[in-house]
Structure 1
């Protein structure tokens, strides 16, 4: 019948993978789109203000549970619950308690933002995961910590997207590190550490032609420090991108609190004390303060 379109089983117009989420375009017309999305347990996801104020986005939970987080409370949403946004003033954040399936309807095209730009990056990061499983788990935690700071800063849509992808791929350059160094159980020699330090630049090179400039430069700078003691170039203070400063804090905190083959992870309180000791020297003091507040709000640190 004219005007009727049927979809059966796994019929999809197009499917893309974005980090740990799959997006499938089910229908489009008159500027509107219907997208089927899967989200892995433990992942944080967000909805940001649309470029067009009148845009309405509706999300229906087909399976799974998530928590909506704001400064005052956490609200659990389950199967058959839904949420929608219009005239949204700032980004809202959710965390998946289980694997989820969501039906997403938007009155403005959105799927093109996911298409044709993540595939190559995802294939590279999968290679890193196969080489060093810690890198994958570490990147997930760095993403979560980074978004805690971003939530406090109320970053713009574009900067959130930059940060999201940069956290996923910030260690992708480790693909070039020999496994015997990457997975060494003892302390690294100076020569081995020099090899490790190459990953920021290698990641930059791998990403710069696959995505726009901001993400590659965030990856390049995420080990730079305010006093110029970082790498690869020893740049200082305002020459370091905000997103790179955020990842630098999140990356360091996770490295200190995570168990490694050669040592036990530190208690979060001790790790935060070390960040504060280096606040204003290695790390932006305002960002460190915001990170501490976020960890207290989420119950990771005590007041």
Structure 2
């Protein structure tokens, strides 16, 4: 088991290294100097800043300095435009908590709703309720989260005034939760649909197994056997989608946060690209890559623990 986990961790860091390299190259190969884009600096000052941060060196040398600073000093560079000369990880440290909070709440709120919809659809299989749940699943998955965000902002914010149109940074207590409600709801539609669809399919398959037929012969109704026995056996495969789903929700929050002016990673990502703040953009890309890789690692390790055949890799 230790070797299995070690192999997965090594693979994760190798993948991360490749992602960091590609992100750095793509961002730094953009035309022009970061200090020349939309700034009022003189050419003398621009040349001095480029020399200080090695932006006047060939791209390979820039990459070498970049890796050297990371491995020796854990220095990912400084912001050039958003907050000049401030370390990028200091900027990220202020933005990460609100992003994680909104995304985690939306995911955990979506799980019971999606599970309830999946169970009801399985119990009411091939009825109008089942068809309505299937329609909901198709709509929630096919419509992007930013479309839901814009709709919620218009109807619940602008038309009714029930919730703030944009996130209130200074709000406390109940007002703060009101500001977070619409971003959370906009991000919850997709996981609700995915959980409902997956659980309904798993329950439909489980209900045709032999032990479920035995439960029915003991006098249990279809609904009772589904909840008591079918649900328990269908929850293990659910791990396959629940953990990686967080990375999907996090990706959707990129635009949703910008729509509601949430001071999180999504808005920062958009602003850093628009401002051509290269080092900040690279650090944000690495953050999202790390989240995705960690979720994959957790799933791999979890499956290795649950099913020994996975970590054996087919060896006899």
TM bucket normalised to smaller: under 0.3
Tell me: higher relative CO, structure 1 or 2? Use CA pairs within 8 A at least 6 residues apart. 2
Higher helix fraction: Structure 1 or Structure 2?
2
Higher strand fraction: Structure 1 or Structure 2?
1
Q: TM-score, normalised by structure 1?
A: 0.22
Q: TM-score, normalised by structure 2?
A: 0.21
